[in-house]
C-alpha cells in the first residue's frame, strides 16, 4: 500500500518562504509522477506543481511559476515543494499525490491514484 506523508506546514508573512516535503513509501516509485495540489476553503482542489521521478520533468500552474520549485530526492523517496515570495492567496491545504501512470496530464486530479493527508499553509498579509 502506497503511503504519502506531507510535512512542513506553517504560518508565514507575505513574501516569506516555506518548504513542504512528501515522503513516500510502500512501492518502487522510480517511474511515478508526484504532484502537489492545494485546496482553499470553499474552493476546488487545484494543481500546483508536479515532477516525474524518472525524467525530472517539472510542471507548474502559471500563478506559481518563478516562485515555487518542485524537486525530488529519489534515494529518500521524498518530493519537495519550495515556496518563495508567498502571497495570501497561496493559503490552502496542500496535498501530495502520486501516480504510476505514464503519459499523463499532470495537472488533472483524476490522474493520481494516491493522496496524502494534506498540510496547512497560511500566508498572512
Angstrom distance (rounded) from CA 52 to CA 63: 20
Angstrom distance (rounded) from CA 9 to CA 20: 7
pLDDT attached to residue 26: 86
How would residue 74 be classed by pLDDT, with cut points 50, 70 and 90? Answer: confident
Average pLDDT over residues 109-117: 96
pLDDT attached to residue 61: 98
Average pLDDT over residues 19-30: 88
How would residue 100 be classed by pLDDT, with cut points 50, 70 and 90? Answer: very high
Average pLDDT over residues 116-120: 97
DSSP state of 15: T
Amino acid at each position: 500500500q502506497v503511503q504519502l506523508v506531507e510535512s512542513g506546514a506553517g504560518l508565514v508573512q507575505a513574501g516569506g518562504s516555506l518548504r513542504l516535503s512528501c515522503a513516500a513509501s510502500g512501492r518502487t516509485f522510480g517511474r511515478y509522477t508526484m504532484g502537489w495540489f492545494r485546496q482553499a476553503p470553499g474552493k476546488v482542489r487545484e494543481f500546483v506543481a508536479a515532477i516525474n521521478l524518472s525524467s525530472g520533468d517539472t510542471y507548474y500552474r502559471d500563478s506559481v511559476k518563478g516562485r515555487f520549485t518542485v524537486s525530488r530526492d529519489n534515494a529518500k523517496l521524498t518530493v519537495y515543494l519550495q515556496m518563495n515570495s508567498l502571497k495570501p492567496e497561496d493559503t490552502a491545504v496542500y496535498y501530495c499525490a502520486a501516480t504510476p501512470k505514464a503519459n499523463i496530464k499532470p495537472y488533472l486530479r483524476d490522474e493520481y491514484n494516491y493522496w496524502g493527508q494534506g498540510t496547512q499553509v497560511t500566508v498572512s498579509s
